[in-house]
Amino acid sequence: MDGMRFTRRRLLQLTGAAGAVVTVQACGGSLGGGSSPETSVKVGLLVPQAGVYAPLGTDMRRAWDLWLESHDGKLGDYTVETVVADEGETPQTGVPAAQRLLQSDQCDVIVGIVNSATALGVRDIVHEAKKILIVANAGAEDITAKASSPYIWRSSFTNGQVAAGMGRHLAENGPKDGVFVIASDYAAGAEAIAGFTSAFEAGGGTIAGRADPPFGTTQDYQPFLSRIRNSGAKATFCFFAGAEAVSFVKQYRQFGLAPDVPLYGSGFLTEGGVLDAQGEAALGVHTSLHYTSELDSSHNKEFVQSYQDAYDAVPTVYSVQTWDAANVLDRALRGADGLDGDTLSTALGGLGPIDDSPRGTWSFENQTPKQKFYLRKVEKRGDRYVNAVVTETGAIGQPG
């Protein structure tokens, strides 16, 4: 246990290392200079850049950049200065990052947040700072219900709402009697099941059984798949995302359930990168979501085209949610005469229908979108798999 002596060489090594850290910090620090406050708005883009949600963060950031590029870098008449911060995987990284954007970078508005726990965790900071937060993904009901704040708006969805779209569709079009419900055992899964069940049962459907495989640790879904088979269900409704969505869909197919007991789910089951990983196993899977890149509208076609030109990639629902966050901010800033939370909140509340969104027309109801849902079916077009539109529901708001 010798204490370390300070030789000159050691000291040089150390100061060198310290210097490197400082340099890195300087590079990553605040971007751009300050223009006068009346004509510029500082937006903190809080998206995951590391960890399991990083692909979502990429889609979100691309859409944000694309919006600014195609609108002269402006929201309303304000020049936008964007400060990007890494949300990471959990609130442990997300909350301090939000704090930094608000307190250190002095952002006027925050956009982003994928993880629901992070969105709920920053609620008090945002509320007390009286700054606008536009949640561009996180789907927990409480964000715009139990924990709502006049300063927190959402441009995405709620977990129950997406599932309710499917519940309503199945109740109307069948199979109506005997649907097995299965979802990862965590908050989002429970909300999805609740949303599906209440909409489905309200339409006269019956549930054949329910299972909640442990979240994040289940590798083998065989026991659950046997239960689905033994329950005699006519169809399965599920909520899975990310790697779990890939393994569930693949195992569902391998187990031989897919032809007899068709698989339905919340759209995240087959959205974005997971669909490429599922490949053929996902063919014929039906999901509900408020967007698919295959929508046949002029607004969507234009959006998809410019997104593909810029990034050589197909936009996802995560891109559209961020695009729409920029869209509503743009509209709100046109009508507002200040950047403070109260002014912007009032402006957002008076927006009316957002009629030029790639997802179709939607509007705010209780600060979260009221929107229609698309019933999508996985098909192969050329050499890639897509979520083709089968039909759509009427506008659905946050359930409850």
Partner 1 sequence: MSAPADIAAPAEGEPRKPPPVRVLVSVLAAVLLAAAPLFLAPYAISTLTRMLVFGLLAASLALLVGVSGLPSLGHAAYFGAGAYAAGWFAQNVSAQAPLSLLVAAFTGGFVAAATGWIAVRARGVFFLMLTLAIGEIVHQVADSWESVTGGSNGLYGIPATEVGGAAITNVGVLHWYVLAAFGGGFAVLWAVKASPFGAALRGIHDNEPRMRSIGYPTSLYKYAVFVVAGTVAGLAGGLLAAQQRLVTPADLGFTTAALALLAVIIGGARSLWGACLGAALVIFVRDSIGPSLDGHGPLLLGVVFILVVYLMPNGVAGIRIGRGKGGGKP
Binding mask 134-153 for partner 1 (x = CB under 8 A): ------x-x----x------
Please count the residues of this chain forming the interface with partner 1, following the rule CB under 8 A. 55
| Integer CA distances (angstroms), 41 to 34, 73, 130, 131, in order | 10, 11, 15, 12
327, two tokens:
């869209």
Told to check if 334 binds partner 1 by CB under 8 A, we report no
Kindly report the backbone phi and psi dihedral angles of residue 398, in degrees, each rounded to the nearest multiple of 5, phi listed first.
-65, 130
Told to check if 29 binds partner 1 by CB under 8 A, we report yes
30/39 with CB nearer partner 1: 30
> Helix, strand or coil for residue 198?
helix
Q: Smallest distance, Å, CB 336 to partner 1?
A: 26
Which of 52, 68, 79, 99 binds partner 1 (CB under 8 A)? It is 99
5/381 with CB nearer partner 1: 5
The full length of the chain comes to: 400
Told to check if 120 binds partner 1 by CB under 8 A, we report yes
For β-strands 286-289 and 363-365, DSSP reports them as: unpaired
Task: Show contacts with partner 1 in window 282-311 (CB under 8 A).
Answer: none
Which of 52, 54, 68, 283 binds partner 1 (CB under 8 A)? It is 54
97/163 with CB nearer partner 1: 97
Q: Smallest distance, Å, CB 244 to partner 1?
A: 13
| Whole-angstrom distance, CA of residue 182 vs CA of residue 213 | 8
| Whole-angstrom distance, CA of residue 257 vs CA of residue 100 | 49
96, two tokens:
């301090």
The answer to whether residues 166 and 179 touch, using CB atoms and an 8 Å cutoff, is no
Q: Applying CB under 8 A, which part among 78-86, 171-179, 344-352, 356-364 lies near partner 1?
A: 78-86
Told to check if 69 binds partner 1 by CB under 8 A, we report no
Told to check if 8 binds partner 1 by CB under 8 A, we report no
Q: Using alpha carbons, select from 207, 189, 187, 212 the residue that is nearest to residue 197.
A: 207
Which of 40, 41, 67, 93 binds partner 1 (CB under 8 A)? It is 93
> Helix, strand or coil for residue 299?
helix
Which of 55, 70, 74, 89 binds partner 1 (CB under 8 A)? It is 89
Which of 43, 88, 268, 327 binds partner 1 (CB under 8 A)? It is 88
How far is it between the farthest Cα atoms of the chain? 80
Dihedral angle at the C-alpha atoms of 320, 324, 327, 331, nearest 10 degrees? Answer: 160
Residue 335: exposed, middle, or buried by beta-carbon count in 10 A (0-12, 13-18, 19+)? middle
Told to check if 215 binds partner 1 by CB under 8 A, we report yes
Q: Applying CB under 8 A, which part among 94-102, 257-265, 309-317, 355-363 lies near partner 1?
A: 94-102
Q: Smallest distance, Å, CB 107 to partner 1?
A: 12
Q: Smallest distance, Å, CB 2 to partner 1?
A: 6
Sheet-wide strand order for 152-154: 74-75, 78-86, 40-47, 109-112, 132-135, 152-154
| Whole-angstrom distance, CA of residue 97 vs CA of residue 379 | 40
Told to check if 389 binds partner 1 by CB under 8 A, we report no
| Integer CA distances (angstroms), 355 to 113, 233, 347, 349, 367, in order | 24, 40, 17, 15, 17
Which of 23, 35, 92, 305 binds partner 1 (CB under 8 A)? It is 92
Q: Applying CB under 8 A, which part among 99-107, 194-202, 232-240, 331-339 lies near partner 1?
A: 99-107
Told to check if 230 binds partner 1 by CB under 8 A, we report no
Which of 124, 260, 340, 355 binds partner 1 (CB under 8 A)? It is 124
The answer to whether residues 282 and 270 touch, using CB atoms and an 8 Å cutoff, is yes
Residues of this chain that bind partner 1 (CB under 8 A)? 1-6, 10, 13-14, 17, 21, 24-25, 28-29, 48-51, 54, 57, 83-86, 88-93, 95-97, 99-100, 103-104, 116-117, 120-121, 123-124, 128, 140, 142, 147, 185-188, 190, 214-215
